A and B are shown apart, each in its own frame.
Chain A
Amino acid sequence: MDILANSVALSRMQFALTAIFHMLWPILTTGMAIYLVIVEGLWLKTRNSDYYHHARFWSKLYVLNFGIGVASGLPMEFQFGTNWAPFSEAVGDFFGSILGFEASMAFMLEAGFLGIMLFGWGRVPPAIHYLATIMVAFGANLSTFWILVANSWLQTPAGGTFVEGKFLVADYFQAIFNPFMLNSVLHMFFATLETSLFVIGGISAWYILQKRHVEFFSRSFKIVLAAAIAVAPLQIFIGHLSAEQVYHYQPTKLAAIESQWETLPAGQPADWTLLALPNEKAETNDWAIQIPQALGYILELKPNLSEPVQGLKDFPPENRPRLIGLIFYSFRIMSGIGFFLVGLMLVTAIQWGLGRLKPGVIARQTWTLRAWIFAAPLGYLAVETGWIVRCVGRQPWTVYGEIRTADAASHLPAGEILFSLIGFTLLYSALFIAALYFGSRIIRKGPNLSLPIPGVEVLPSLELPTQHQPDQRPLEAQQ
């Protein structure tokens, strides 16, 4: 096979593989960190021990994911040097600095306070512990910020010029605040938050359906639902803004997302292709289901576009992305999931309004709860497909319009990359299986509601809220 001797293709495969696997873990930890800040805050405010036990229980899943996230992320940073040395040299002045900021400002903050957050309950005062939890969440989300700054810059390079293939920075702030930056950061921020919310919600729904700790988990379920009411629609809105930006800044990617071969001239009705079978050889779609005028409404909220949508045929073949079908369907999976989650949120919010989520009756809403369990992995799928659209759609460019992927790769013997690619494939597959196995073990084991509450011995016992002690819980919640 050709591809096994092609070091650029192998380096791309390795980067894609490590990125797709690595992402699975930080997606959950960055969003869940915010959730942990919320429950610990609720605990400090209400002194209700349930919230304390929520903080302890979910942080077990948090640390499992964090450990694998750190480990699986290491190859990402080093690959820029090992597999993409010409790229590193060309854009290191800016891109490398940003990775340095991520490590120093964000990652170090998260790692430095994690020990106190996990093991420091009895060792530091509650306020310091809460500060540590906040710093962990702040650090995690600052990581998202810097990584998305770096990636957005690859999509819309700004703030300097390429001289003889090397990027010279003229204005760092212009480069950081490149055209894609703000929406990309927000889109990813809401993506991690939304994914985490539906994971926590799905797991809570599972316990409620199992009739284990129903009252306890209906608390987390409602916190998640309240957050989802705000987050899920906002995410669609930000996603829409991102798509508009692609339309303006990356015409080849937009054409690939829509599998649009012919140019749609301005002022004409712009139909939207719902489903299609793209045929790259014949430069057309073998079949397609189209919705009249919908693309006009999607991009500009009117039937006829004021700017043309360029078709793929407008660009020479060497400047078009490959794998049109993958990009086309990835985009549809991502946005479909976005709308599904909004729908699920709406249905559940209505049930909440009707009083059907009270601890006594919530376990009877079987279909809603099952839908939440089904929704738990969907956020991951949406994020992965979204990144496929973002990065496969950017091809053949590593830095859009400036550096081709083929010129960005190190000259390495293909065998050397094949060796590491096979190694990473085996290792990451094993990690993935082990993470699922140990994650489900933690979930099946359930929360430990008998953990001593820090600071309780100094409080007079009469003032303690006792109605939530495990031995006084309703029978169904005790097991």
Chain B
Amino acid sequence: MDPLAQFLPQVWFFILGLFLFLYVLLDGFDLGIGILSLTSSSEERRSILMTSLGNVWDANETWLVLMGGALFGAFPLAYGTVLNALYLPAVVMIVGLILRAVAFEFRENANRKLFWNWAFGVGSFLAALGQGFALGSIFEGIAVDAAGHFVGTMWDWLSWRSILVALTLIQGYVLIGSTYLIMKTTGSLQLVHFKTAKLAAWTTLIGAGFITISTPILSDHIRPTLFEPPLVFIFLGIPLLGIFLIGLLLQSLGKQEERMPFILTILIFMLSFVGLGLVIFPYIIPPSVTIYQAAAAPSSLVFMIIFIGFLIPIMLFYNIYNYVVFRGKVTLSGEAE
């Protein structure tokens, strides 16, 4: 294969992975906090939860839009086929994100907040659910013809296994949401989220354990990758490291540390993400279409690197600056008025 035609799709696979990872991490705690808000015991607590996201939620969500746009440009075939296959989960996710996004503004201006509280919580849950089913379909595989077009049915993404993957992702979001809130809140609210974080750490561990064990048994298309040296050692190492990190996390939660749980959760997410990336690579429509088959022309990939690639550090810079400006605990002074 032409080295350029091999290298460029790999670069874009990595860039898309980076966008997706940033999305999962950042909107992950957004969505997790949304789901947690369903259990808030008072209006004031819910206000603190939503205020903690006020200045970041739309920038966080933009990584998804960016991921979508970049996937469309870099791997047009995958964009069409995957979204075609995941029509219903995509619609559920979008409806969820819409409900959640408008809840921020409408709740702020509403006298009776109950409806918008539900819109925020349920919207977050639906968005995470849709994403979980999309993730599940990677393990299940997407049925395509020789040209890479979707040939399955509208319910292909639904199976008992994809339900468990979806539930695990939701647990993961609740975990990172809880650890983010531990960092941003104080007092009794913080204590509540030490508890939710502990619970979510256990449920995430169970879910991840299930996925790790079931994948080589049930996914025919992934099994060969897993047992092929030298990757087999990495795939043995990742679960062990994962268990170790969750152990550290539980210990840190026990000691009621404020920042460490969030950092450890990020590491756990990173580890799962690397594992997932290694399982999928070089496929972009598992189990049959590779990044090389689905990639746009090399000239397009170069053109996009010139325009988007150089912007990545700049985007990271001002997004980080945003977090620096609003560092510290959430206050309810209503700065936006």
Whether, in the assembled complex, B54 has its beta carbon less than 8 Å from a beta carbon of chain A, the answer is yes
Whether, in the assembled complex, A300 has its beta carbon less than 8 Å from a beta carbon of chain B, the answer is no
Q: Which of B49-88 contact A (CB under 8 A)?
A: 54-56, 58-59, 61-62, 65-66, 68-77, 79-84, 86-88
Whether, in the assembled complex, B105 has its beta carbon less than 8 Å from a beta carbon of chain A, the answer is yes
For A122, the chain B residues whose CB sits under 8 A away are 335
Q: Which of B25-48 contact A (CB under 8 A)?
A: none
A73, chain B: closest CB distance, angstroms: 8
A404, chain B: closest CB distance, angstroms: 17
Q: A103-B68, A104-B66, A123-B326 are in contact. Are A93 and B297 (CB under 8 A)?
A: yes
Q: In the complex the two chains form, is A71's CB within 8 Å of B101's CB?
A: yes
CA distance A466 to B31 in the complex (A): 46
Q: In the complex the two chains form, is B79's CB within 8 Å of A119's CB?
A: no
Q: A101-B308, A112-B322, A169-B299 are in contact. Are A86 and B72 (CB under 8 A)?
A: no
User: Smallest CB-CB separation from A146: which chain B residue?
Assistant: B69
User: Which one of A67, A90, A112 lies within 8 Å of B59 (CB-CB)?
Assistant: A112
Q: In the complex the two chains form, is B98's CB within 8 Å of A427's CB?
A: yes
Chain A 66-86, CB-CB to B under 8 Å as 1, else 0, gives 111011101101101110111
A101, chain B: closest CB distance, angstroms: 5
Q: In the complex the two chains form, is A97's CB within 8 Å of B300's CB?
A: yes
Q: In the complex the two chains form, is A112's CB within 8 Å of B318's CB?
A: yes
Whether, in the assembled complex, B250 has its beta carbon less than 8 Å from a beta carbon of chain A, the answer is no
CA distance A67 to B318 in the complex (A): 20
Main secondary structure of the interface of A (DSSP, over half): helix
Chain A 397-416, CB-CB to B under 8 Å as 1, else 0, gives 00000000000001011001
CA distance A82 to B150 in the complex (A): 11
A405, chain B: closest CB distance, angstroms: 16
For A67, the chain B residues whose CB sits under 8 A away are 58, 101-102, 104-105
A28, chain B: closest CB distance, angstroms: 14
For B312, the chain A residues whose CB sits under 8 A away are 104
Whether, in the assembled complex, A92 has its beta carbon less than 8 Å from a beta carbon of chain B, the answer is yes
For B322, the chain A residues whose CB sits under 8 A away are 112-113, 115-116
Q: Give the tally of cross-chain contacts (CB within 8 A).
A: 228
Q: In the complex the two chains form, is A92's CB within 8 Å of B296's CB?
A: yes
Q: Which of B236-252 contact A (CB under 8 A)?
A: none
User: Which one of A99, A416, A434 lies within 8 Å of B102 (CB-CB)?
Assistant: A434
Whether, in the assembled complex, B319 has its beta carbon less than 8 Å from a beta carbon of chain A, the answer is yes
Q: Which of B298-328 contact A (CB under 8 A)?
A: 299-300, 303-304, 307-308, 311-312, 315, 318-319, 322, 325-326
User: Which one of B86, B97, B105, B335 lies within 8 Å of A438 (CB-CB)?
Assistant: B105
Report 11 cross-chain contacts, Cβ distance below 8 Å, ordered by A residue.
A92-B73, A96-B71, A101-B307, A101-B308, A104-B307, A108-B311, A108-B319, A119-B54, A124-B325, A420-B87, A438-B109
A residues at B contact (CB < 8 Å): 56, 63-64, 66-68, 70-72, 74-75, 77-78, 80-82, 84-105, 107-109, 111-116, 118-124, 168-169, 172, 410, 412-413, 416, 419-420, 423-424, 427, 431, 434, 438, 441-442, 448, 451
